[in-house]
Structure 1
Amino acid sequence: MKITLPYSGLQWSDLWFVLQGIGNTVLLTVIAATIGTIIGLALGWARGESKTARWAFAPIINVVRSVPLIIQLILASSFFAMAGGEASPLVAGCVVLSLYMGVLTSELVRAGLASVHITLRRAARSLGMSYWQELRHVSAPLALRAVFPGWVGTLIALTKDTALVGVLGYVELMRATQILINRTNEALLILTGAGLFYFLICYPISRYCRRLEKAMNHD
């Protein structure tokens, strides 16, 4: 009688499957980081310049920062389903992660603008600059230097948080890793490889952004 083994070994085709997962992770990170940064810049500026905006957006920011991302992902997917439209895991993940990135970035931007001393802003205005000229040439460059390191840390954290979108069925790197572990029972080897891939994604970002930060500080 032929005995069927419950597990199968790793195959070369599994490498392509993992690479697809890496591509999905990078795609989700790029979309969420781009949209989230734009949201964060606008929201952070509004909350830094207007007390009304600060109070109006405070509930949303507190909820997004306090509720675990995995719960937000499940609730967002359920909301789309109840609304009558089935959003793909990529769309639901982009919405949640973009909002999360936007909220965290907005707090960095607000704090960065607040770190610019009021006397510098008044001096620029006294020289005849308009509000937008002062913001562009004085406040924004100084705030960017203060915000940039925190934003880089948020971007790297976002890259790792994309693993949570796997609960919706999106096959990113961690989800692909789990599928392979269930099929091959090679947990140690596969997780080591996944950790290496995350390192190869995040470390170049960190190094490149560090070079940009040094360049900004030398200007």
Structure 2
Amino acid sequence: MEPTLKFFSGFAPNDLWFMGDAALRTLWISVLSISLGTVLGTLFGWMLYEGRRAATLTLAPVLDVFRSVPLIIQLVLFYNFAPIVGLNLDPFASGTVILTVYTAALVANVARGGIEAVGAPMRRAARSLGMSYWQDLRHVVLPIGGRAVFPSWVGVALGVMKDSALVSVLGYVELLKASQILITRTQEPFLILALAGAFYFALSYPVSRYATHLENRWAQ
């Protein structure tokens, strides 16, 4: 009697290792995109604040597009149209570019709000003490404004970390893509999704707790 072919197999210890590796991939693309997006978004926020009317007419509409269009559409469009202009990027690079720009678009308003949170009298006082414009930004605006909008930035960072799951549509094997692969093979969706949720929690919870710790320390 010929042996029966088995198309499905149960969840094995190696599968947990596979999900752990995918979680690290999620963490890597998230940290890279959030870091670059924060720097770029802070620059955009400063331009929106200082540029006033000019920035409102030029930069603001572009950022609104990235904030308004669903992220999955941005990912698919960029990945498919980038080769047309000579950019042959793999799924990781394409996902990083779009997540970075998406993060920057969100952080821009946060950064502008941080600058606006520092009152004009305080900034005039800093300048009257002999500080230059850049010293004022570094020693007055950044510490005070940064603390004021820190909770908003943490919310953006956690949101982008979860939104990184959408990069799976490009074929990048992060946590969600790995879960889909295992569900197809093991036919155990409840177990796999529960583990994926646990991994996402393990990635997000320390960030949230540390952010709360910093806020409490600053409040003292």
1:99 aligned partner: 101
1:9 aligned partner: 10
1:42 aligned partner: 43
Counterpart mapping for 1:31-110 below 5 A? 31-51=32-52, 52-110=54-112
Q: What SS is found at the alignment partner of 2:72?
A: helix
Answer with 165-174 or 105-114: which moved more.
105-114
2:175 aligned partner: 173
Answer with 25-34 or 4-13: which moved more.
4-13
Distance in 1, matches of 2:20 and 2:85, equals 34
2:118 aligned partner: 116
Specify which of 146, 153, 159 is matched with residue 151 of structure 1: 153
Question: What's the offset of the Cα at 1:11?
Answer: 1.6
- The one-letter code matched in structure 2 to 1:71 is I
- The one-letter code matched in structure 1 to 2:94 is A
1:133 aligns with 2:115: no
Could you report, residue by residue, the CA deviation over 1:19-51 in whole angstroms, capped at 9, with x for unpaired residues? 121111011011101110110111111111112
Q: What SS is found at the alignment partner of 1:14?
A: helix
Could you report, residue by residue, the CA deviation over 1:147-201 in whole angstroms, capped at 9, with x for unpaired residues? 1101111111111111000000000001000000011110001100100110011
Q: TM-score normalised to the size of structure 1?
A: 0.95
Question: What's the offset of the Cα at 1:58?
Answer: 1.1
What are the ranges of 5 or more consecutive residues in structure 2 without an aligned counterpart?
Answer: none
- The one-letter code matched in structure 2 to 1:63 is V
Question: What's the offset of the Cα at 1:209?
Answer: 1.4
- The one-letter code matched in structure 2 to 1:184 is T
Distance in 1, matches of 2:81 and 2:214, equals 40
What are the ranges of 5 or more consecutive residues in structure 1 without an aligned counterpart?
Answer: none
- The one-letter code matched in structure 2 to 1:210 is T
Q: TM-score normalised to the size of structure 2?
A: 0.94
* Two-structure CA RMSD over aligned residues (Å): 1.3
Identity %: 46
1:26 aligned partner: 27
Question: What's the offset of the Cα at 1:214?
Answer: 2.0
1:201 aligns with 2:203: yes
Distance in 2, matches of 1:37 and 1:90, equals 19
Q: What SS is found at the alignment partner of 1:10?
A: coil
Could you report, residue by residue, the CA deviation over 1:74-122 in whole angstroms, capped at 9, with x for unpaired residues? 0110121222342110000000000011111111000111121111112
What is the number of residues matched between the two proteins? Answer: 218
Residues 128 and 207 of structure 1: is their aligned pair in 2 closer, same or farther, counting only changes over 3 Å?
Answer: same
